[in-house]
Structure formats: structure tokens, C-alpha cells
Homo-oligomer: A and B are copies of this chain.
Amino acid sequence: MEKTWYLKRINIFQGMSDKEMKQLNDITHMKHYDKKSLIYLPGDASDQVYLLKEGRVKISKLSEDGREITLVILEPGEIFGESAIVDDDETRSSVAEALENAYLCIISRKDFEEFINNKPGLALSITKLMGFRRRQIETMLEDLVFRGVHERLALLLLRLADRHGKAVGDKKLIDISLTHYDYANLIGSTRETTTACLNDFKREDLIEFQKRKVVILSERGLKKRAKYED
């Protein structure tokens, strides 16, 4: 897949000295979130930055009538809510929800701003992170306009496999439990059509299910379905 999707994470804090890590630790506090609990909602004050230590977190946008589009699913080690330090806007425009039991390090916007002050390397990392995420959203936008649901779903599965996958023999397990509803929100479609597409792929022996998880049986076949060439 493209580099953008292949990189599992951008670790903002890599290459920091022990002293700096200690300093970071001091301004941080850890908090546990149950599975399915909300970390923030649209309209909430944008005054904290989060570092995901354990578990997975889903970032989505909501429509007035309760529909949802998911922008990204975050892995441990990733930072989020970073728009707090970048946007002038005071409130969140998306929802963050724990997909699994999760532990987060929470840093107040103010402390974080002070912390990155005079750490130009870190500031650059943040800038790169912003750029990286922008690029991902741009790709979602392109896909939405240029591709149909089968194509989008095939692409999604390939990307999820890169980001959250494990090789198991010659197969590849997407190691997150997602409902069809979740898949639908990741490709901007509905639960029903997504169910149908998933079953199409199953019938074509491109994927199979293990519990609530997808196993990719034929990466090549999926790529063909996604009209994606290496």
C-alpha cells in the first residue's frame, strides 16, 4: 500500500531524552475509559491532548440526524485531540470513542504548549502529524468521490490490514473487532450495503470471518477488487 497507510503510527515522542520524558510524565495524568465510552463529544472544550497508551480509539464526525463517518481508528502510541493546540477553535468538532477498554495520558493544552515550547523538533513532529492526517483525510475524500462501495470497502480492508493486521500463515488477520456498522462508517456507506459487500467478498473467497474479525484470504483478489495496483 502507499506509504501513507503503511506507516502504522507516527511516534511523536520518539528520540526524546529521559529528562524530557520525565518532564512530560509530570504534566500528564492517566485515565481509564471503558469500552464504548466517549472521550469527547462535538462541542466539548478543546483543552486537552491525549496520548493513547492502551486500547483503540475511534474518531468520528456526526450528522444532525445521528449518522456517523469515522475518520480514523487509533492504535496505542498515537496522539489525538492535537487540534486543541493548533486550531483557534475552542471546541471539538468530532467524537472520540473507546473501541476497547483504553488507557489515556491526558495533557492540558496549556501544559502541552509550554512543553513543546523550545522543543523545535517536537513542534516539527506535530506539524508533520497534522500533514500526515490531512493526507489521510484527502485520500478518504478522493475515494468517496471516485470510487463505489465495493472498491472503498476492499481498500479499507487492505488498509486496516496494514495498520492493525497480523500475518497468520499466508493469511492476514485484521485484529480489531468491528461491527458491520463500524465498517460502514469507515467507508461512508450504510450497514446493509456493507453487510452485502462483505458477504460478496466472502463468497468470492477473498475474506473470511473469525468471530467479529476479518481474515484476508487473498490480498491480490482484494486489490483487484479495489482496482489497486502495487
Contact = CB atoms under 8 A, between A and B. Distances in A.
Contacts of A94: 138
B137 A138 contact: yes
Interface stretch (A25-33, A102-110, A124-132): A124-132
A230 interface: no
Interface residues of A, number: 37
Interface string A136-148: 0110111011100
A227 B132 CA distance: 32
A142 B63 contact: yes
Nearest to A137: B137
Nearest to A188: B145
A93 interface: yes
The interface centre, meaning the residue of A3, A69, A126, A127 with most chain B CB atoms within 10 A of its CB, is A127
Contact of A83 (B3, B131, B188): B131
B88 A128 contact: yes
A69 B126 CA distance: 27
Interface string A69-108: 1010000000000010011110001100000000000000
Contacts of A144: 141, 144-145, 188
A169 to B, nearest CB: 32
A4 interface: yes
Decide if the interface of chain A is mainly helix, strand, loop or mixed: helix
Contacts of A126: 127
B127 A4 contact: no
B146 A69 contact: yes
B128 A4 contact: no
A35 interface: no
Interface of A: 3-4, 61, 63, 67, 69, 71, 83, 86-89, 93-94, 117-118, 120, 123-124, 126-128, 130-135, 137-138, 140-142, 144-146, 188
Chain A to chain B: the 4 pairs with minimum beta-carbon distance, closest first = A86-B131, A130-B130, A134-B134, A63-B146
12 contacts: A4-B89, A61-B138, A61-B142, A67-B146, A86-B130, A87-B131, A117-B120, A123-B123, A130-B130, A140-B141, A141-B141, A144-B144
